[in-house]
Structure 1
Amino acid sequence: MKGYLRQDGRKGIRNVIVVAYLVECAHHVARAIVTRSDDLDVHLIGFPGCFPNKYAARMMEALCAHPNVGGALLVSLGCESFNRSALARAVEASGRPVETLVIQESGGTVASVAAGVEAVRRLKRAAAAEPAEMSLDELVVGTICGGSDATSGITANPAVGRCFDMLIANGAACIFEETGELLGCERIMAERAATPELGEEIRRAVEKAERYYRALGFSSFAPGNAEGGLTTIEEKSMGAYAKSGASPISGLIKPGDRPPGGGLYLLDVVPDGEPRFGFPNIADNAEIVELIACGAHLTLFTTGRGSVVGSAISPVVKICANPDTYRKLAGDMDVNAGRILEGGASLDAVGEEIFELVKATASGRRTVSEALGHQEFILTYKRFEPIGPACLPRAAAG
């Protein structure tokens, strides 16, 4: 595989320039800069809130210094509370070129867009890098499911689990997530944990998710899930759980935490404390962003009902579980796991296909969502406490 070596020692599989707005008031200008740049490797990200949030600040630092990012343009209105100087220092400390554009000091929309386009050109020149050899044990891969139906837990999800086992056997770090969609699986996951203490942390994380959703009067179960043949959150959870494969669980992390090495990690995306900011994730892309903030070079996205989204920064590989859905949305899918239902392939064969596609994507091959220009991005308010030493037993022991 080929990657891009960064000054912090990590390697990326893309060389993206991010244009990051720091408040919704700067969103239009940032989007216009990306549009005018007319480059698949210039991506728009941002945080819409005007009030400060430690989670959002941490996420933006992790995203702007992600291995797939070569440089960053920060777009500020000028009066928001987001600490643009601190973000710029963090990006600079990672060895990446960074520039800051303040709209209130740059002459408004037209002048700021023109200045931003020139800044992107400078950043692309400064971020130019020759590809470097990259091995599987340097790769971080995430997975989520969206638009799940009764076929998801039979085809696409267990096929991703097979791929995860192959990646982990080769030293890669793999992350599965959404404790709110793993209700009822806590005992099974605890038994797979590297230590009893980690198992207890996993149980507590799922119990927290259950309390959080109960307080909101809502679980992670949509009408489309029921229309697709799923009957309960527990049934949906078992299908989602299949994405994790059969490897031991090496750790429990939260958004922005990096896996310390190869292995399987559970990402806890449900905020800590009492519910304050509404639903934990308002859409699938919010979860993808959190996986990326943990260092995911790419994300394996399984869907039964169908989803057409991609993501900024890291490629999304779309794996369709339902053969009927694939026939309708083939132009948005990378893998037809529905062949398993129709006898056209085995779980192992599709798992191997996904594994080979991961390697091809990491070597520069564009996924379907990338080629179509999908660069969705969502970042909202949340609150998390730091993880304890029991969550990463290997790191604690080292």
Structure 2
Amino acid sequence: MSNSQNLTTASTIRSWQGYLRSDGRKGVRNLVLVIYTVECASFVAQAIAKDEPDVHVIGFPGCYDNAYAIRLMLSLARHPNVGAVLSVGLGCEYTQPHKIAEVVRESGRPAEGFFIQDIGGTTTSTEHGKQIVNRLRQEIESVPRVSMQLSDLTIGCECGGSDATSGLVGNPVVGRAFDRLVEQGGTAVFEEVVELIGLKEILANRAKDADVRKTIEATYDKAMSYCQQVQQWSTSPGNFAGGLTTIEEKSLGAFAKSGSRPIEGVIKVSEQPDHAGLWLLDSVPDPHFMQHGYTNANDSEGILDLIATGAQIVLFVTGRGSVIGCPVAPLIKITGNTQTYEKLREDMDFNAGRVLQDELTLDDAADELLQLISQVASGKPSKPEALGHREFFIPYKHQDTPPLTIGCRS
């Protein structure tokens, strides 16, 4: 038996203790999530969570509500890594913190909400919020612990700050790990359809059946139309400096993170896969008449979209390096560029560039990555977690997905 086969066996039998939610899903963290419902409440929300490693913050800046944003926040509030929620608003906005808390309670999690205008000023509201968070933290200490393994995981993957090594080894290592994850009964989700431009036939050929193929083709056509309308292709000066020359070249590298397994279907933001396997996430805005400009896609948005599918851990491949993290789910940062890893060692979790240096095979690197995923799932902080990085971005966006479970208007 080869060394890589031994590593595969080790990662397959590895298990750890997770957190069992009332809907049957299992989390790898037990967080209190603070949600602000308008930018005017963001300072207080951040102050409530300050210096609290197990309290994370997300929020929507807009005063007018947006179905996409509300759906996203509700998905995150009921994420398997979240044990309890505090929703904080100012008092003038359309999105209502009490209604968010109501839906979260229906999921079996403790949740509360308040308006700052009802409580007092910054200091008073911050102290009020901290008292609530402490109470919620005590309530979720009794969440049942349960055994977890790779088959219990949903893993998302984003790539950004790409260079030539991203397509050569960074994304292929993730793709190989995704294949192993799916083999073990787990779920893998990849996105960035606008970074698959030029690959319509290649992408469609991975569909598990004819119906999925039609959905993939329609998803691709929408992304192509979107890029044409906004006159923006997903390439940047950093990509060119890193050795990429065309969107097609970048797309081939980005697609490598999907591995080789059939694509089970296409989901949209806040939808969860209904069975295990490999899934494509469509986060491209749907056509609509009223626009607040177009979505300013960035890595933090894409990562949050992946988390909203229920991903307990997200992988982020970056050839040129990055210093971001995310709330709710641990982020594991991977680079295929050894020079980047050495320069940003304090931020990068995994050096796939060793494959290019003949220190590892792709199989060995994939197995090492699965071991790291297991360690992070069992409680080891990823480097972004340890540094306190919790960047996020929730824009106005139009995307038709299943109906909201609540209306958040007063």
Give the TM interval when normalised to the shorter protein: over 0.9
Paired with 1:145 and 1:277, the residues of 2 have a C-alpha distance of 26
* Two-structure CA RMSD over aligned residues (Å): 1.2
Gaps of 5+ in 2: 1-15, 403-410
The alignment's TM-score, normalised by the length of structure 1, stands at 0.95
How far apart, in 2, do the equivalents of 1:41 and 1:386 lie? Answer: 31
State the partner residue of 2:315.
300
Q: Secondary structure at the match of 2:353?
A: helix
- Paired residue for 1:326, among 331, 341, 348? 341
> 2:355 matched to 1:340?
yes
Question: Matched residues in 1 for 2:362 and 2:320: separation?
Answer: 19
Match for 1:157 among 149, 171, 192?
Answer: 171
Q: Tell me, yes or no, if structure 1 residue 97 matches structure 2 residue 110.
A: yes
SS at match of 1:219: coil
2:33 to 11, 18, 22: 18
Q: Distance in 1 between matches of 2:349 and 2:65?
A: 39
Which runs of 5 or more residues in structure 1 are unaligned? 388-398
Residues 6-32 of structure 1: per-residue CA shift (max 9 Å, x gap) = 111111000011111100000001111
In the superposition, the TM-score normalised over structure 2's length comes to 0.92
- Give the C-alpha shift of residue 131 in structure 1: 2.5
Q: Does the residue aligned with 1:282 lie in a helix, a strand or coil?
A: coil
Provide the rounded CA distance (Å) in 2 between the counterparts of 1:66 and 1:82.
20
Q: Is the 8 A contact 1:91 1:97 kept in 2?
A: yes
Aligned amino acid, residue 366 of structure 1: P
1:23 maps to a residue whose letter is V
SS in 2 for 1:331: coil
Partner AA of 2:155 in structure 1:
V
Corresponding letter in the other structure for 1:176: F
Distance in structure 2 (CA, Å) of the matches to 1:316 and 1:198 = 29
Tell me how far apart the structure 1 counterparts of residues 343 and 280 of structure 2 sit (CA, whole Å): 33
Alignment-derived partner of residue 282 in structure 2: 268
- The alpha-carbon distance between structure 1 residues 131 and 281, as it changes in their structure 2 partners (threshold 3 A), is farther
1:85 aligned residue: 98
Matched, 1:60 2:73: yes
Which amino acid is 1:143 matched to? C
Superimposed CA distance per residue, residues 60-100 of structure 1 (whole angstroms, 9 cap, x where no aligned partner): 11011100001011011011001323311210011111011
* Corresponding residue pairs, total: 385
Q: Percent identity?
A: 48
Matched with 1:178 is 192
- The answer to whether the 8 A contact 2:87-2:98 is kept is no
In structure 2, C-alpha distance between the alignment counterparts of 1:281 and 1:367, rounded to whole Å: 27
> For each residue in 1:318-339, what CA deviation from the matched residue of structure 2 results, as whole angstroms up to 9, or x when unmatched?
1111111111111111110111
Query: Is 1:250 aligned with 2:268?
Result: no
CA distance in 2: counterparts of 1:109 and 1:84, whole angstroms: 17
CA distance in structure 2 between the partners assigned to 1:196 and 1:183 by the alignment: 21
Which residue matches 2:47? 32
Which among 149, 166, 170 is matched to residue 180 of structure 2? 166
Match of 1:375 among 376, 386, 390: 390
Counterparts of 1:95 and 1:154 in 2: how far apart (Å)?
45
Which structure 2 residues correspond to residues 67-82 of structure 1 after superposition, within 5 A? 67-82=80-95
Specify the alignment match of 1:286 in structure 2.
301
CA contact under 8 A between 1:281 and 1:287: conserved in structure 2? Answer: no
C-alpha contact (below 8 Å) 2:261/2:278 kept by paired residues: yes
Query: Judging changes above 3 Å, is the alpha-carbon distance between structure 1 residues 278 and 2 closer, same or farther for their aligned structure 2 residues?
Result: farther
CA deviations 1:351-381 (Å, max 9, x no partner) are 1111111111111111111011111111111
Moved over 6 A (4+): none
What is the 5 A alignment of 1:91-240?
91-128=104-141, 129-240=143-254
How big is the shift at 1:278?
3.7
Report the CA distance between 1:214 and its aligned residue. Answer: 1.0
Q: Are 1:212 and 1:274, in contact at CA under 8 Å, matched by a contact in 2?
A: no
